[in-house]
């Protein structure tokens, strides 16, 4: 699709997020909220 350049593997990105532990998820969420 046209979004292939921005996110070649969205499934992998989602899977990676699911693998994160609760602590890591909180840290990532905090880091993103600051941006």
Average pLDDT per 10 consecutive residues for the chain, totaling 35 residues: 58 65 83 87
How many CB atoms lie under 10 A from the CB of residue 25? 13
Chain-centre distance for alpha carbon 10: 9
Please give the Cα distance from 31 to 26 (Å, whole number). Answer: 9
What is the pLDDT, as a whole number, of residue 35? Answer: 78
pLDDT at residue 33, as a whole number: 92
Supply the pLDDT for residue 18. Answer: 63
So what's the pLDDT on residue 27?
86
Q: Is this prediction's pTM over 0.75?
A: no
Under 8 Å between Cβ of 29 and 35 = no
Q: Please count the CA atoms within 13 angstroms of the CA of 33 that sit on its side-chain side.
A: 6
- Residue 23's pLDDT is 81
């Amino acid at each position: 699709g046209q979004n292939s350049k921005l996110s070649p593997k969205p499934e992998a990105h989602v899977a990676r997020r699911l693998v994160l532990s609760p602590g890591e998820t909180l840290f990532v969420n905090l880091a993103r909220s600051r941006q």
